[in-house]
A = this chain, B = another copy of it.
Amino acid sequence: MLTQQRHRIILDLLKEKSVIKIQEIIDLTNTSESTIRRDLSQLEESRFLKRIHGGAARLQGKLQEPSMIEKASINLQEKRLIGQYAASLIEEGDSIYLDAGSTTKEMIDFLDVKDLAVVTNGFMHLSDLLNKGIKTYLLGGYAKPSTNALIGRGALEGLEMYRFDKAFIGVNGIHPQSGYTTPDQEEAMVKQKAINLSRDVFILADDSKFGEISFGKIADLNQAVIITNKLEEDISKHYKSKTTIKVVTS
């Protein structure tokens, strides 16, 4: 049985029952205990469930589409490292802008500064932020389902009432000539405006984004500092002259 199939079985089981025992999964999959434990570890790492002593438990508010599994689990460890480093840059009393997106979401776990104000256009960030007791302001606007981002006129006008010490932005493409890009033009506009309103700007991007170009232009390279997980030497030279790059390693 394929790993993917087992993962699907486990997640389907969790749709029925809020907790499942390891033995149930073993019976259903005809695999060893070790394999199931590994599956559960991976699914927990990718935030699809919570391991508990004796099995696994559903965690609420999680959309479990098959396509989501791969997408979300790719580079999660890297994103987490990037997020951890980015969070460490935040200082007491800062006002920060947190862009929608999976990488910026990883920052929230590591936000331990007191007296912090966060503005975000990512509505899936909200519950995590509030659970940590962080004073949070949401932009308004159209709630785009595919990226969980608030965009459009509401978001742009909402931004105008804030100024930020630091902005943390996710992008899809980083390119020496084309700069920072993202597929959706409207999302690009929001990111762009947030950048213009912030004293310091940090782009959070794993290594897969370098060399890519998307449709919507956000900004030029030199308008932000890049935080990434690794960078090949031969690729690096195209970027180093244009902006500052912080490479985070484990």
> Which residues on A are within 8 Å of B, measured CB to CB?
2-5, 8, 18-19, 21, 52-55, 57, 61, 123, 126-127, 129-130, 135-143, 145, 150, 152-155, 157-158, 161
Contacts and interface: CB of A to CB of B under 8 A. Distances in A.
A98 B145 CA distance: 18
Nearest to A162: B154
Contacts of A61: 127
A42 to B, nearest CB: 12
Given A8-B18, A127-B61, A157-B161, A54 B2 contact: yes
Specify the main secondary structure of chain A where it touches its partner: mixed
B127 A126 contact: no
B138 A154 contact: yes
24 contacts: A2-B52, A2-B53, A3-B53, A4-B57, A5-B19, A8-B19, A61-B127, A129-B143, A130-B143, A130-B145, A135-B142, A136-B142, A137-B140, A137-B141, A137-B143, A138-B141, A138-B150, A138-B154, A139-B154, A140-B141, A140-B154, A154-B161, A157-B161, A158-B158
Contact of A158 (B52, B57, B154): B154
A18 B61 CA distance: 27
Contact of A123 (B54, B126, B145): B126
A4 to B, nearest CB: 5
Copies in the complex: 2
A154 B139 CA distance: 8
A52 B137 contact: no
Closest 6 CB pairs of A and B: A140-B140, A140-B158, A2-B54, A136-B143, A139-B140, A130-B145
A152 to B, nearest CB: 8
Nearest to A58: B4
Given A126-B143, A157-B161, 8 more contacts: A2-B55, A3-B52, A123-B126, A123-B138, A136-B142, A137-B140, A137-B142, A153-B161
A187 B40 CA distance: 43
A3 B130 CA distance: 27
A98 B119 CA distance: 23
Contacts of A127: 61
A187 to B, nearest CB: 15
Contacts of A54: 2-3
A143 B125 CA distance: 12
